[in-house]
Structure formats: structure tokens, C-alpha cells
Amino acid sequence: MRAEYDFSKGERKALIPSKGKTRISIFIDNAVLDEFRARAEVQGSGYQTMMNEALKAYLSQGDQPLTESKLRAVLKEVLPAKRAVLTSRSTRTRAKARAG
């Protein structure tokens, strides 16, 4: 082993580059993340893989704008049990905003 090594021409990069995937940081609602984790555990797969597949499926539907009604339909499908909680929270928030 040498006493010193010369890293002056070294490059900062991944030792083994991954092809086709990029590491990012994003913020996901806790309810959505919990649901993906629970479903992934039941299926025995990774939740990130499942989220990636859901995004691919959405993108394969073509160039469709995401409307409020479509978003509500997706949320009802993904979070059926938590729907009542989310609805009551939003109702309380609107009531507070009106009361002002």
C-alpha cells in the first residue's frame, strides 16, 4: 500500500452507473405512501417499483390533462377506506375558511 495516492485526475461519479433510472427526492403525501407500502408488502414487491409502475400506467394513457374529477376518481380507487377521513377534514377546513 502506498503512503499517498494521486487523485488529481479523478472524477466524481457513480462507480457503477445505473442505466434507465435516476435518483431523485420528492415529497409524497403520507396517506399515498402508506397505501403503496401496504400494497407492496401484501404483494411481496417494493413500493417504489409499484409507484413507478403506476406512473408508467398513467403516462401510457396518452396526453390527458389531470382534471379534478380524474384526480378524485384515482384517490377513491387508491384510498377507499381513508376517503371518509379525507372528506371530513376538507369539509372542516372549508367551514373554518368560511367562518373566517
Domain annotation covers residue 38: yes
Whether 71 and 91 map to the same domain: the answer is yes
Domain annotation covers residue 70: yes
100: CB partners within 8 A, 6+ apart: none
75: CB partners within 8 A, 6+ apart: 83, 86
Whether 71 and 90 map to the same domain: the answer is yes
pLDDT at position 24 is 87
> pLDDT tens per residue, the chain (100 residues)?
889 998 888 888 777 777 888 888 999 999 999 999 999 999 999 999 999 999 988 888 877 777 888 888 888 887 766 655 555 666 666 666 777 6
CA-nearest of 35, 42, 74 to 57 is: 74
Whether 72 and 98 map to the same domain: the answer is yes
Domain that holds residue 43: 28-63
pLDDT at position 34 is 95
Domain annotation covers residue 5: no
Query: 39 with 79: CB under 8 angstroms?
Result: no
Whether 37 and 50 map to the same domain: the answer is yes
Angle between helices 83-99 and 68-78 (to 10 degrees): 140
- The pTM is what? 0.48
Domain annotation covers residue 93: yes
How many domains is the chain partitioned into structurally?
A: 2
Domain annotation covers residue 15: no
Query: 14 with 25: CB under 8 angstroms?
Result: no
Whether 85 and 96 map to the same domain: the answer is yes
